[in-house]
Amino acid sequence: MEASFRGRKPYATQNVMAVVDFDLRFTYVLAGWEGTAHDALVLRDALERANGLRVPQGKFYLVDAGYGAKRGFLPPFRGVRYHLNEWGNNPVQNERELFNLRHSSLRVTVERAFGSLKRRFKILDDATPFFLYPTQVDIVMACCIIHNWVINDGIDEYIIPEDEWVPNITHASSSSGQAHEHAYMANFRQGLADQMWEDRQNHMQGQNM
């Protein structure tokens, strides 16, 4: 049992899935899964719970590649430059690179939120926690709640400014339905990327006239 909580780190960890808004508040948190649990499995659990994660109608969440493309969840293109430190002075070459660059620029909000959370609550980085596991899960939830309360109260010394940072939908349950959802979001993502690239090209042509 303990082995399932040991992933890339040499000590036991839990997989915490969270939704963060652009004000760095945690709007949904699911804690308690073992550290080796795949992100897609944790997401499915969140969606299937009676009071679980719900995507507002007509909206979608930006997610990393581990979650895959499905209705309401928009990951980056695989096999294409993504992380901000991969770009340097090299400009984007096509619509997929442009999409990934903008996706990464927005999704860094999640990293900033978790960074401020861990700086404020050092107990979350404790490799050998004293508390029993159910209490550890409760601690994560409590820390996120207090974090939100501090954010709402005003200025937060634990949040690194963005310019200084270094890096209701019903979902299908059948395999055919999931394949359809994946195709839908993959096409939607490609359409966004194509439109971004066209707008960029038109803007550059306008500047050269």
Q: What is the mean pLDDT of residues 125-141?
A: 82
Task: Specify the pTM.
Answer: 0.73
Q: Is the pLDDT of residue 4 over 60?
A: no
pLDDT tens digits, residue range 160-169?
A: 555 554 544 4
**CA–CA separation, 66 vs 75, rounded Å?**
8
The DSSP H or E segment spanning 46 is helix 39-48
3-class DSSP state of 114: helix
Q: Is 62 left (phi over 0), alpha (psi -120 to 50) or beta?
A: beta
**CA–CA separation, 102 vs 196, rounded Å?**
10
Contact between 127 and 146 (Cβ < 8 Å): no
Q: Is the pLDDT of residue 130 over 90?
A: no
Number of independent structural domains in the chain: 1
- Domain range holding 91? 2-208
DSSP H helix total and E strand total for the chain: 4, 4
Q: What is the mean pLDDT of residues 93-103?
A: 90
Q: What pLDDT was estimated at residue 27?
A: 94
Q: What pLDDT was estimated at residue 7?
A: 54
Q: Which of 44-58, 123-137, 165-179, 185-199 has the lowest mean pLDDT?
A: 165-179
